[in-house]
Amino acid sequence: MTLCRFFLDKKTFPADCPPNELHVLLYGGSAPIAGAVAIGNQVKDLFLRFGVQPSATAVDFVSIALAVTAADTFVLREDAADSWSRDIEICLPLRTPGPWNAVKPRLQRLLSFLSGDQWRFHFEGGGEAPPVPSVIRQHQSRINLVAGDLVSLFSGGLDSTIATFRLVEDTPARSWYLMPTPATNRSKTASLDACRRPFNTYRSMPGQTRSARRRYRCAPEAFSS
């Protein structure tokens, strides 16, 4: 069993990491000690760029998603007893843990079904708070949510590529956001050039430029580790 413990502040980050534990800095850019990891460095900025205050429930949902992503990425299958099925326990601070504790059994069953692993969650208080409206208003860079009414979660794999192409063909008059994963490289995203149609675009991934020929909007790699 691997215990994944998540922390929000480098000041309270443990100096040592016991065996069979993974310590993760949540919403952080770099881990403060060797052997630890960090995830979600750009997510706080993304909260501000949407221009609206997310609810505490929405922020908790993102925290859970980041925790699952970190565990799935850094807990290796090759270290499992059968070299496949992992036993993962997550200790995660949330802003409002009560509602999530109520659905915890369903969440654990869902992830176990999807990944073939054993998942257990321990939710506690002290989680990330939503940004305050005054800070949101002062943020300069914005993602115009009004300009897009559909979202495509694009990994570059076969399923998401087919779904994205169908979305383009079935909704020629609508604008939508393309949300790449960290593993989506530039060549995969560029494959959507076949979908060229005149429309204003919003592109913000590093190394990519604006193109008036594409009618999809590419949001930041919010879940980069």
Share of the chain above pLDDT 90, in %: 55
Region of 170 on the Ramachandran plot (φ > 0 left; ψ -120 to 50 alpha; else beta): alpha
Distance between CA atoms of 64 and 167, rounded to whole angstroms?
A: 28
For the ranges 31-35, 51-55, 106-110, 176-180, the lowest mean pLDDT is seen at 176-180
Confidence check: pLDDT of 68 > 90: yes
Task: Tell me the pTM.
Answer: 0.76
The stretch 206-220 carries a mean pLDDT of 35
Q: Which two tokens stand for residue 59?
A: 């922020």
More confident residue, 98 or 167: 98
Q: In this structure, are residues 178 and 193 in contact, taking their beta carbons and an 8 Å threshold?
A: no
Confidence check: pLDDT of 6 > 90: yes
Distance between CA atoms of 82 and 170, rounded to whole angstroms?
A: 44
Confidence check: pLDDT of 84 > 80: yes
Q: Which two tokens stand for residue 216?
A: 């999809």
Residue 207: its pLDDT value, please? 35
CA dihedral 69, 71, 77, 80 (to 10 degrees): -160
Confidence check: pLDDT of 204 > 70: no
Residue 17: its pLDDT value, please? 92
* Burial (CB count <10 Å: 0-12, 13-18, 19+), residue 35: exposed
Confidence check: pLDDT of 38 > 70: yes
Distance between CA atoms of 165 and 38, rounded to whole angstroms?
A: 33
Residue 169: its pLDDT value, please? 79
